[in-house]
């Protein structure tokens, strides 16, 4: 099996040999990337194009273990607020149930370095007092198959957050309610 597959969306079937890690799919509405693990499956649009003769494809994000309990998000926010001057990293992992983990890390006001936890479903990091956006550093670091969340403006009572699904360096925004229940 090749590491990456290159497939055509014929509608009833996908032409081509699937890859071990992920697939590029050419569809009637452009180029997509698709990957799945036991914890997350996602199809993300890379570029729009009209391709005559192929079927349309839609972006999709599925959590096979179910949505994540909302209280883990609230807990994460409390932890980040408790150290609102520093960038912090948290992970929501799957360990038979969803858990919030804080791996060993070196946080400063301008960045955070951390160990990657196994079975991570959501990467969460804070931007301390800065606004919540995915920086070029985040784009460079966030190369896995998982959900990514950034939380910012922790100096206010209404912090900002942004969420996206990442498929090996390709991203698409996701709705909070599609992740947390």
Nearest approach, Cβ of 60 to Zn ion (angstroms)? 25
- Residue 123 sits in the site that holds Zn ion (CB under 5 A): no
Among 40, 128, 132, 138, binds Zn ion (CB under 5 A): 138
Site for Zn ion in 141-170 (CB under 5 A): 150
Do the bridges between strand 30-36 and strand 41-47 make them parallel or antiparallel, or are there none, so unpaired?
antiparallel
Site for Zn ion in 81-120 (CB under 5 A): none
The residue among 13 and 156 lying less far from Zn ion, judged by its C-beta, is: 156
Nearest approach, Cβ of 138 to Zn ion (angstroms)? 4
Nearest approach, Cβ of 141 to Zn ion (angstroms)? 8
Beta-bridged to residue 89, according to DSSP, are: 125
Interface segment toward Zn ion; rule CB under 5 A; list 15-23, 90-98, 128-136, 161-169 = 128-136
Q: Greatest CA separation found in the chain?
A: 55
| Helix/strand/coil percentages in the chain, nearest 5 | 10, 40, 45
The residue among 5 and 159 lying less far from Zn ion, judged by its C-beta, is: 159
The residue among 64 and 169 lying less far from Zn ion, judged by its C-beta, is: 169
Nearest residue to Zn ion, scored by beta-carbon proximity: 138
CA distance 87 to 111: 6
CA distance 179 to 124: 13
Nearest approach, Cβ of 46 to Zn ion (angstroms)? 22
- Residue 135 sits in the site that holds Zn ion (CB under 5 A): yes
Nearest approach, Cβ of 125 to Zn ion (angstroms)? 5
Q: What tokens does 101 get?
A: 């983990």
Please report, as ranges, the residues that interact with Zn ion according to CB under 5 A.
135, 138, 150
């Amino acid at each position: 099996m090749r590491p990456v597959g290159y497939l055509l969306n014929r509608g009833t079937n996908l032409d081509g040999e699937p890859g071990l890690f992920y697939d590029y799919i050419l569809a009637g509405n452009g180029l997509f990337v698709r990957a799945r693990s036991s914890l997350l499956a996602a199809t993300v649009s890379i570029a729009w194009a009209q391709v005559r003769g192929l079927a349309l494809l839609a972006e999709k994000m599925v959590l096979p273990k179910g949505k994540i309990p909302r209280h883990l998000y609230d807990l994460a926010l409390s932890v980040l607020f408790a150290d609102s001057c520093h960038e912090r990293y948290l992970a929501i992992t799957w360990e038979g149930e969803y858990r919030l983990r804080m791996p060993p890390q070196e946080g400063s006001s301008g960045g955070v370095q951390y160990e990657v936890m196994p079975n991570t479903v959501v990467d969460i990091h804070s931007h301390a007092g800065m606004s919540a956006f995915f920086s070029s550093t985040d784009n460079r670091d966030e190369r896995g198959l998982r959900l990514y969340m950034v939380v910012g403006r922790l100096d206010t009572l209404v912090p900002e957050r942004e969420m996206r699904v990442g498929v090996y360096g390709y991203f698409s925004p996701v709705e909070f309610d599609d992740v947390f229940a």
